[in-house]
């Protein structure tokens, strides 16, 4: 009889361990599913033009602010500008206070979504940190503000 009781408690511990493992895996899958819907992916303007991005999908758009494209609206807080990666250009708008380092010819990463007209509506702007900042996808490129062209370093 002692042997049967020992097997029973061993069996109970095994069942509890399996239940705990299943619970941890289920929690991980639920968390991954929730994060997948909320993640903002990074796109360059050329990615947007070639692959397309559905309106309303939260993304990060990165590139250079095209010289001469930055315009302030009459309300004083809405700005429109174009973002380029040297291959394509995307129109963008932002309502709010732009970072001090945000200006024409500088690097920018904007969080937001495209509207139905193809304009990127930014909810947050992240400007370059210093003179050497360049989005990872554009490293090795030089932006000519006068001609709006990106050229590879040689």
Q: Where are the domains of the chain?
A: 1-38, 41-152
Domain spanning 41-152: which superfamily?
Answer: Nucleic acid-binding proteins (2.40.50.140)
pLDDT of residue 1: 46
Question: Taking the complete model, does pTM exceed 0.95, yes or no?
Answer: no
Q: Determine contact, residues 44/138, Cβ cutoff 8 Å.
A: yes
User: What's the count of helices (H) and strands (E) in the chain, helices before strands?
Assistant: 2, 9
pLDDT of residue 111: 92
How many residues are recorded in the chain? 154
pLDDT of residue 140: 60
CA-to-CA distance for 141 and 137, rounded, in angstroms?
9
- Would residue 124 be called left, alpha or beta, if left means φ above 0 and alpha means ψ between -120 and 50 degrees? beta
Q: Point out the residues of the chain with pLDDT beneath 50.
A: 1
CA-to-CA distance for 105 and 68, rounded, in angstroms?
9
């Amino acid at each position: 009889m002692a042997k049967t009781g020992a097997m029973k408690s061993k069996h109970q511990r095994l069942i509890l361990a399996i239940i705990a493992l299943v619970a941890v895996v289920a929690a991980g899958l639920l968390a991954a599913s929730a994060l997948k819907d909320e993640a903002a992916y990074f796109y360059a303007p050329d990615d947007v033009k070639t692959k397309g991005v559905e309106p309303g999908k939260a993304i990060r758009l990165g590139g250079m602010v095209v010289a001469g494209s930055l315009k302030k609206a009459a309300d004083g807080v809405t700005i429109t500008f174009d973002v380029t990666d040297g291959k394509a250009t995307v129109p963008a708008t932002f309502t709010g206070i732009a970072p001090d380092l945000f200006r024409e010819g500088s690097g920018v990463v904007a969080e937001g979504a495209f509207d139905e007209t193809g304009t990127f509506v930014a909810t947050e702007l992240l400007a370059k940190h210093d003179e050497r900042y360049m989005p990872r996808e554009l490293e090795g490129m030089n932006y000519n503000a006068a001609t709006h062209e990106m050229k590879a370093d040689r």
